[in-house]
């Protein structure tokens, strides 16, 4: 078994069209839940040169000006008008309204038997993962790549680097020895340049990025770059144009950086744009919650939880987990404890995580923050599935 290797994960900033589409989709989810927490909503988004395609399938009392909302989100990203003009773009919206029949459920004090009657409407197998690479129990490569992307976005927002475009990508390669991260192998940043007429000197870019992006990120990182770490910045030269002017975007195309940077399995379906009733989203949250609590309880160094759902059933038809032989007790025993303390039924997940109320609780903006800040292991957001409140129960 090979235990020494380099693993790379990559991420993108908020102005990357794919990421932007995720954000818009989740903003739509928020807008519906804000007006009507019981909304059923699925939103999708695609973005090309100056056309924005939106589709919203919903069962809700809410009425949302979806195009306007999307424009506001895009405006917040801060493209130069020549790259994308939110006010002038054409927005094609498909409103698909569904019947509101199975909607009126109050999840805050739901009865157990009621939960049993709520069956999932999608078939999916979702995964949750946690490991001891970082304090938030995420794999180190994706954690670092996401932090770099977030730092790039922050730098752009704070205008610390004048020429930085909102559309950048990051990649981090971590060298593992005996399955544990030992050093940083490589850091790659590709940034768009908002001053195409007078592109800054290469040395200038490198200096700015080291100072504003790389150093702040690695200041608190468990593993820091060393002299041999290869730092590559814009290997193909600075991108003169960026954002939707150069590449199109679509909801759900950045699922690896949304999840575990391919370090663990993920189900492949998009997380963003789906309301609380979509098991392919909330199931992934529940699985992560379980895995994180197992690792937090000290039962294993890493853990992958798998939940399989079939249409028509209220709970998973299969619960499986593996600690890849890092468990302090048998996996089968861990699963027993898991099943005792965790309720993976759809209704229970919605109730326990308060998924319908979160938006209102956070003043109307909750899901929208996830694509940029990370669905898992996010800093600064107290996500209910990131809590380790059940670790003690699992230790017993």
Binding site for other proteins (CB under 8 A): 35, 42, 50-51, 55, 57, 62-68, 85, 87-97, 122-123, 269
Cα separation, 313 vs 120, whole angstroms:
6
Cβ-based nearer residue to other proteins, 43 or 130: 43
Nearer to other proteins, 193 or 284 (CB): 284
Minimum CB separation of residue 97 from other proteins in Å reads: 7
Distance in Å from the first CA to the final CA of the chain: 33
Cα torsion 315, 318, 323, 324: sign: negative
Mark 94-106 as b/e (b = at least 16 C-beta within 10 Å): eeeeeeeeeeebe
Instruction: Give the SS3 label for residue 121.
Output: coil
Please tell me what DSSP assigns to residue 76. Answer: H
Nearest-approach distance from CB 45 to other proteins, in angstroms: 14
Of the two residues 62 and 180, which places its CB atom closer to other proteins in the complex? 62
Please, which residue, 94 or 108, has the CB nearer to other proteins? 94
Q: Which is nearer to other proteins, 92 or 395 (CB)?
A: 92
Where does the chain show beta strands of DSSP type E? 5-12, 40-48, 51-59, 90-97, 124-131, 164-177, 180-193, 230-233, 249-250, 302-309, 318-322
Q: In what order do the strands lie in the sheet with 124-131?
A: 124-131, 302-309, 318-322
Choose between 56 and 300: whose C-beta lies nearer to other proteins: 56
Helices 17-35, 66-77: axis angle to 10 degrees equals 130
Backbone angles phi, psi at 112, to 5 degrees: -60, -40
Size of the chain, expressed as the number of residues it contains: 396
| Cα gap 287→237, rounded to integer Å | 41
Rounded Cα distance between 388 and 291, Å, is: 10
Q: Which is nearer to other proteins, 5 or 95 (CB)?
A: 95
Neighbours of 51 (CB within 10 A): 13
Residue 330 structure tokens: 């048998």
Q: How far is the CB of 96 from other proteins (least distance, A)?
A: 4
Q: Closest CB to other proteins among 259 and 323?
A: 259
Helix (H) or strand (E) holding 31: helix 17-35
Residue 294 Cα to chain centre, angstroms: 21
Q: Least separation, in Å, of the C-beta of 277 and other proteins?
A: 13
Q: Using the minimum distance from each CB to other proteins, give the nearer residue, 17 or 173.
A: 17
Beta carbons within 8 Å of 60's beta carbon, 6+ residues apart? 32, 35, 36, 38, 39, 40, 41, 100, 103
């Amino acid at each position: 078994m090979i235990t020494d290797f380099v693993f790379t994960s990559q991420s993108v900033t908020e102005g990357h069209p794919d990421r932007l589409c995720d954000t818009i989709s989740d903003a739509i989810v928020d807008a519906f839940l804000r007006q009507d927490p019981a909304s059923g909503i699925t939103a999708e988004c695609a973005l090309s040169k100056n056309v924005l395609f939106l589709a919203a399938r919903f069962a809700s009392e809410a009425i949302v000006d979806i195009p306007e909302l999307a424009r506001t989100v895009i405006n917040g990203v801060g493209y130069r008008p020549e790259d994308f003009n939110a006010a002038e773009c054409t927005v094609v919206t498909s409103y698909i309204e569904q019947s509101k029949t199975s909607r009126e459920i109050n999840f805050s004090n739901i009865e157990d038997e009621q939960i049993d009657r709520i069956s999932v409407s999608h078939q999916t197998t979702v995964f949750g993962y946690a490991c001891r690479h970082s304090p938030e129990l995420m794999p180190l490569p994706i954690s670092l790549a996401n932090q770099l992307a977030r730092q790039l976005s922050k730098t752009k927002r704070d205008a610390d680097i004048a020429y930085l475009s909102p559309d950048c990508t990051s990649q981090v390669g971590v060298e593992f020895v005996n399955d544990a991260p030992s050093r940083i192998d490589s850091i790659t940043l590709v940034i768009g340049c908002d001053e195409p007429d007078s592109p800054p000197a290469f040395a200038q870019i490198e200096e700015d990025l080291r100072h504003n992006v790389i150093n702040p990120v690695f200041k608190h990182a468990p593993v820091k770059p060393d002299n041999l770490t290869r730092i590559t910045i814009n290997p193909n030269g600075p991108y003169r144009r960026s954002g939707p002017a150069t590449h199109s975007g679509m909801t759900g195309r950045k699922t690896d950086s949304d999840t575990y940077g391919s370090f663990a399995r993920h189900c492949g379906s998009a997380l963003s744009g789906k309301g609380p009733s979509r098991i392919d989203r909330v199931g992934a949250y529940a699985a992560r919650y379980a895995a994180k609590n197992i690792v937090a309880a000290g039962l294993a160094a890493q853990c992958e939880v798998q939940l399989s759902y079939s249409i028509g059933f209220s709970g998973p038809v299969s619960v499986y987990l593996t600690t890849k032989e890092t468990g302090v007790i048998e996996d089968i025993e861990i699963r027993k404890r898991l099943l005792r303390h965790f309720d993976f039924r759809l209704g229970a997940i919605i109730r326990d995580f308060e998924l319908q109320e979160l938006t209102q609780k956070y003043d109307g903006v909750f899901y929208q923050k996830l694509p940029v800040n990370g669905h898992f292991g996010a800093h600064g957001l107290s996500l209910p599935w990131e809590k380790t409140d059940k670790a003690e129960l699992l230790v017993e």
